Amino acid sequence: DPKDALILARPRSGEFTVRTEEILDLMEKHADELAVVLIGGVNFFTGQLFDIPTITAAARKHGITVGVDLAHAIGNVPLSLHDWNIDFAVWCSYKYLNAGPGAVAGAFVHERHATNTNLPRLAGWFGNDPNTRFRMHLEPEFIPVPSADGWQISNPPILSMAPLRASLAIFEEAGMDALRQKSIKLTNYLQFLLESEPDGQSKKQYTIITPRQADQRGCQLSILVREHPKELFSKLEAADVKCDFREPNVIRVAPTPLYNTFHEVWRFANILR
């Protein structure tokens, strides 16, 4: 029963994001009960970037397994999964990795777990050691590939991997650190434009609920609209702006460094206002 088995970290009353100290306090309080700490690298709703290294270190101190959902972080912010010592991570590739709907997902498993056959898994033939893959029916035990590949079930979907391969080549050429630096500038510029309304009009119309500090967010800003949010979103759509709406009143906008420009950010801000 999730009511008994799940402990949720929530924002304080009147706030939108979860403070790192709140998460650490929860883990310390329930250290003897927690089996897994599962956290999103970047929150889908608020755009908050969590302090994964600090949270992981606190959990590992108590021997708690750490998993990270990187759906909104992969291709958005630099990641050092092995160095951060997390146990596992999963992600999709149709968001910031630009591979499109239905594209293959990804997974990371720390090397300390790679050959542990006692871990629950769907033991597929492509996860088995290639040297005995075609003799699995003759072998007494499943012999996993000593990496995240040991969790692979079957053949990779080649057609859906093609756009991901093309996209990753561009990421490698551009460099994640350079992309992150441009991303910070783009989003900082967007924040500046949205908050520089004359006579404080922006404060009356909307509130940015994403953290203000660049190191606490990815490229996304989540804008809480006080009046007629769906009408405003429709106005943006009519102007060919690609963003999205989350109930009940939040518009998410994410200037992406690979293909968005500062001029486009300026145009968006003018349409929104």
Q: Which domains does the chain have, with CATH numbers?
A: 2-174 (3.40.640.10), 176-272 (3.90.1150.10)
Contact by Cβ (8 Å): 272, 239: no
SS3 42: strand
Overall average pLDDT of the 222-245 stretch: 95
What is the C-alpha separation between 53 and 61, in angstroms, rounded?
Answer: 12
What is the C-alpha separation between 170 and 172, in angstroms, rounded?
Answer: 5
Q: 243 Cβ partners below 8 Å, 6+ apart?
A: 233, 236, 251, 252, 253, 254, 268
What is the biggest distance separating any 2 CA atoms in the chain, rounded to whole angstroms?
77
SS3 171: helix
Taking only the tens place, the pLDDT of each residue in 136-179 is 878 788 888 989 999 999 988 899 999 999 999 999 999 999 99
What is the pLDDT at residue 86? 98
Q: What is the DSSP letter of 250?
A: E
What is the pLDDT at residue 139? 79
Taking only the tens place, the pLDDT of each residue in 81-102 is 999 999 999 999 999 999 998 8
What is the pLDDT at residue 246? 96
Contact by Cβ (8 Å): 117, 145: no
What is the pLDDT at residue 198? 64
What is the pLDDT at residue 157? 87
Contact by Cβ (8 Å): 153, 124: yes
Overall average pLDDT of the 242-270 stretch: 96
Query: Using CA atoms in the order 266, 260, 242, 271, what is the torsion angle rounded to 10 degrees?
Result: 10
R_g of the chain, CA atoms, integer Å: 21
What is the C-alpha separation between 148 and 110, in angstroms, rounded?
Answer: 8
What is the C-alpha separation between 219 and 204, in angstroms, rounded?
Answer: 24
Q: Where does the pLDDT of residue 189 fall: very low under 50, low under 70, confident under 90, or very high at 90 and above?
A: very high
Contact by Cβ (8 Å): 218, 49: yes
